[in-house]
Amino acid sequence: MSDASNEFQTRLEDLRMEITGQGVRVLEQATKAVDCYFDHDRAKAEEVVDIEATVDAVDIEIEKRCIPLLGLGQRDPHSIRSVLTIVKVNNEFERIGDCAVTIAEATLDPRRKTSNLPDTYRVMANSVLGMIRDANRSLSKSDAVLARRVLDFDDTVDRFKVEILRDAQARVGDGSLAVDGAFRILAVTKSLERIADHCTNVCEQVIYLETGKIVRHESEGWTEPEDPRTHDR
């Protein structure tokens, strides 16, 4: 193996460790966000906001370190996909952090005095946290099978979202939930849904990295991984 190849592999492994650490960081941030809104814990909400500064700084650092790595001249498709995967996953993790901050900000809204959540919120939130955990695990272990299982859970999260929003609509209608409270529930639930979407994007990248194949989300569900080259024949 040439010196350039050795350098590439060493730097790539460092970046893999960094991106895995970022995944752990945003999982912690999202967990605190879920808990702070459920428990109406303003101190924990402030912690979520504080973590965001680190997430943003790491996001920038990882991107900066990926650019020169692509300039080392590697031609192996898996090596090239490895760097591109880190770049894309890095962006998804940063977006998860943004969603966590949105949830924390809803907790810090001075108009919110008590918890107004249906029981489904905790079930949905735990499902989404599990998706973050498994998406990061699939990335760190290069496990395309686990990545596919995360994709299959996305529709379940969507069903929870619909159930929560219908509950909020009904409670606004009967006067048991204020309109501003309904808007906060909407914002938090949409943030959880977006986190799930970012997790599926991470897992799509893992599948592509390890197999060279892509998956698509259609109305009837996720497709089986397909080789994109077959569409050019």
Beta bridge partners of 218: 221
Q: Are 33 and 48 in contact (CB under 8 A)?
A: yes
CA dihedral sign of residues 118, 119, 124, 129: positive
d(CA 13, CA 176): 54
- State mean pLDDT over 187-198: 96
d(CA 59, CA 53): 10
Total residues belonging to the chain: 233
d(CA 141, CA 23): 13
Token reading at 131: 């998706």
Above 90 in pLDDT, residue 18? Answer: yes
CA dihedral sign of residues 18, 20, 25, 26: positive
**Consecutive H or E run containing 73:** none
Output the pTM of the full model: 0.89
Name the band, by pLDDT with cuts 50, 70 and 90, for residue 221.
low
pLDDT, tens only, 153-179: 888 999 999 999 999 999 999 998 889
* pLDDT: which is higher, 163 or 113: 163
Q: What CATH number does domain 3-228 carry, 1.20.58.220, 1.25.10.10, 3.30.930.10, 2.40.30.10?
A: 1.20.58.220
The mean predicted confidence, pLDDT, of the chain is 88
User: Which residues have C-beta within 8 Å of that of residue 173, sequence separation ≥ 6?
Assistant: none
Q: Are 62 and 23 in contact (CB under 8 A)?
A: no
> DSSP 3-state assignment of 221?
strand
Above 60 in pLDDT, residue 219? Answer: no
pLDDT, tens only, 22-53: 999 999 999 999 999 999 899 999 999 999 99
SS3 of 185-211: the string is HHHHHHHHHHHHHHHHHHHHHHHHHHH
